[in-house]
Amino acid sequence: MLLDSFRRCAIASAVWGTFAAVAMAQGASPLQAQISPIVAGMYPSLEALYKDLHAHPELAFQEVRTAAKLAEEMRKLGFEVTEKVGGTGVVAIYKNGAGPTVLVRTELDALPMEEKTGLPYASKAKAQFGGRETFVAHSCGHDVHMASWVGTARTLLAMKDQWKGTLMFVAQPAEETVSGAKAMINDGLFKRFPKPDFAYALHTSATPYGTIGYRAGPTSSNSDSLDITFKGRGGHGSAPDKTIDPITIAARFVTDVQAVVSREKDPAEFGVVTVGAIQGGTVGNIIPDQVVLRGTIRSYKPEVREKLLAGIRRTANAAAAMGGAPEPVVELVAGGAAIVNDEAVVNRTASALKAAFGDGKVVQVPPITASEDFSEFLNAGVPGMMFFVGTVSPDDWAAARKPGGKPIAFNHSPFFAPVPEPSIKTSVEAMSVAVLTTMAPK
């Protein structure tokens, strides 16, 4: 029924022409004037898809239901669909004559956390994670991305007389663990399928809806994890002299490692070392024989990354030596690399977006401190761009910026709740503009 409805919309050019005329009269660009009524016609089904995905989230490499749902949507549109690429990934190909191949990516996975939004379609899902049961929630906006991904595919096919080339729609697993893109590439993504000429992705942002953020160059951070085991000699809490206390060693490290950030890194460059978990001991009167620290390291530039990693290792060894303890086990594991948007792609796309939405709605933004593995596709030699789409009520945004205002819930908050309309509409329109601008015959 949804597809029949979409097709009726796709052939109702007279109705669209009326909508387009109204949009043009209100100041929309010719391209957006064509896209907006198409998106408006399909929006109810996109919102239904979004709410279904939101209520049924799945963790990294467990996205079986989610992947199947997106694969079904793309098959209905006539895409050639391949499932189980890199685990649970989906690749959908649509050929429309000679022209560039353009990759459009969405993510499939959710987070191991409880949603506390109170929305009627809030997730109540649970799954196994790290050997224990956890709640699961789309608290990063991937459900918005997926609905927009489907909407963009529908829009582009409704306008296929205006572009030439090959669409490569990729639904990637395990973004939250920054491992899904690499898994797809290792499974032959760019060998089994055409290697794209360009790549696009978008991400929700806790900024006013209707706005789009972009930048050229570094756009997200490098991500590395730290896992350090400090070894000691356990004993009674009343006789610390008979022990080597790994808790005090770990505490010294947590404090001292910040000097690497504040005294060794260039103050003008971004770098963060955060210890997010400390595990050691069972009761208050027993000194344990080891403590485990886990954390994250973020940076933009390779030279800053290397300085932080070297400083962490040196500080951990020094803390153990000062406590007379054995050498610690220091594991620094590389995660996602920084996204570096291609300048030419950004300049072309930003110009098209500004023409479509207006200069005031499309703004250059600073790089984010979070990490993303969309960089794997770009670092494989595909020039591309990730941009950001606002999802928050402008009134709420303005109120939050006043003294004493209620803070906005950002991505990864249990209260993160994008406003579906117009956030999804803006996402579909913006991505459609980006792809059409890239694939329009010269």
How do residues 226-285 score in pLDDT, each as one tens digit?
Answer: 999 999 999 999 999 999 999 999 999 999 999 999 999 999 999 999 999 999 999 999
- Whole-number pLDDT of residue 27: 53
- Judge whether residue 13 has pLDDT over 80: no
Place of tokens 């080339």: 165
Tokens of 317: 């060894």
- Judge whether residue 34 has pLDDT over 60: yes
> CA-CA distance, 338 to 381, in Å (whole number)?
14
- Average per-residue pLDDT for the chain: 93
Give pLDDT tens digits for 122-181. Answer: 999 999 998 999 999 999 999 999 999 999 999 999 999 999 999 999 999 999 999 999
- Whole-number pLDDT of residue 32: 84
Query: Residue 25 — pLDDT band, cuts 50, 70, 90?
Result: very low
Long-range pairs for 66-71: beta carbons < 8 A, 24 or more residues apart: 66/108, 66/109, 66/146, 67/108, 67/171, 67/173, 70/106, 70/108, 70/146, 70/149, 70/150, 70/171, 71/171
Mean pLDDT, residues 31-55 taken together = 96
- Judge whether residue 389 has pLDDT over 80: yes
> CA-CA distance, 64 to 137, in Å (whole number)?
15
> CA-CA distance, 110 to 59, in Å (whole number)?
5
- Whole-number pLDDT of residue 161: 96
Query: Residue 435 — pLDDT band, cuts 50, 70, 90?
Result: very high
According to DSSP, the β-strands at 271-279 and 290-299 are: antiparallel
Give pLDDT tens digits for 341-374. Answer: 999 999 999 999 999 999 999 999 999 999 999 9
Tokens of 414: 């249990």
> CA-CA distance, 114 to 148, in Å (whole number)?
24
- Judge whether residue 22 has pLDDT over 60: no
Specify which residues 104 forms β-bridges with. Answer: 169, 200
Percent of the chain having pLDDT more than 70?
94
| Phi and psi, residue 135, nearest 5° | -70, 160
- Whole-number pLDDT of residue 203: 98
- Whole-number pLDDT of residue 30: 85
> CA-CA distance, 218 to 77, in Å (whole number)?
35
Can you list the alpha helix ranges (DSSP code H) found in 214-296?
246-256, 258-259
Query: Residue 9 — pLDDT band, cuts 50, 70, 90?
Result: very low
- Whole-number pLDDT of residue 4: 37
Give pLDDT tens digits for 197-228. Answer: 999 999 999 999 999 999 999 999 999 999 99
pTM, rounded to two decimals: 0.86
